[in-house]
Homo-oligomer: A and B are copies of this chain.
């Protein structure tokens, strides 16, 4: 488990490479549920999501030999772009394995940041296996998208910033995919200010952490179906799960319709473009599923990488 001092060290390591993203008031959305709502805007982070924090922290700690050989990961989305960016920034070669079904936009974005993209298999599971093979064949260091202490510590820097930026905060609401972001944030916040509640949010169609908590152990999902593709992790992490169990006050679920409504509200009220996963925390606040009335709430808008077609869907026809 990453400690608070790991997270503080991560911050020193990455602070001058990332954006100190703004914490913005969302008065109108908050008022709709009787809360004072603020958004921590990681959609405005370099590469368009928080993922670059963990990637940078991981790459910064590679030893000489590992730096010379390069890194490899599997991701069809934000982690791929983030690791590609962080590796290039550090002068390290990066290989990303994506399923052949990955969107052209995301393949191009990773290539744009200088990564070699290997298309393999039709599922995340197959791509995962290929990435592990490549790690062995080419002596690459595998950088897990979430189940990695350095990655979690990097993501936890969001929590440190929230505590500094908010004059007062009662609740912090965080989207969950594999649990790396919320694990890091929960350690940072509960170790520094235990009275602050930390809530997790998952899409109904990819609720691996909720199911793991209910089962009492990390489970895998056979099928996932959600507009929040960034949150569609097929398993809870062996490392992230116990942290969530220990530190997170509750994990609630939101439907795709609730996510779309939040994306729309973020766009037209807060003027921010969020991807589905990026809007999940706001969706949970708006849905009334969290006891936030009368409280000061920070929702993490975790990413903004979404293509035109999806935005068109969100706008609807009326």
Residues on A close to B: CB < 8 A?
Answer: 19, 22, 24-25, 27, 43-44, 46, 48, 267-268, 270-274, 304, 307-308, 311-312, 315-316, 318
Contact = CB atoms under 8 A, between A and B. Distances in A.
15 contacts: A19-B24, A24-B44, A27-B46, A43-B271, A48-B271, A267-B273, A267-B311, A268-B273, A268-B307, A271-B274, A273-B273, A308-B318, A311-B311, A311-B315, A315-B315
Contact of A271 (B24, B272, B312): B272
Nearest to A270: B44
A140 B315 CA distance: 40
A307 B316 CA distance: 12
Nearest to A22: B22
Q: Which 3 A-B pairs have the closest CB atoms?
A: A271-B304, A22-B22, A271-B273
Nearest to A317: B312
A173 to B, nearest CB: 19
Interface centre among A48, A271, A307, A312 (most CB of B within 10 A): A271
Nearest to A301: B271
Contacts of A273: 267-268, 271-273
Contacts of A274: 271
A162 to B, nearest CB: 15
Given A22-B22, A24-B44, A271-B274, 5 more contacts: A22-B44, A43-B271, A308-B315, A311-B311, A312-B315
Nearest to A312: B315
A27 B19 CA distance: 11
Contacts of A267: 273, 311
Contacts of A307: 268
Contacts of A318: 308
Contacts of A316: 308
A25 B19 CA distance: 8
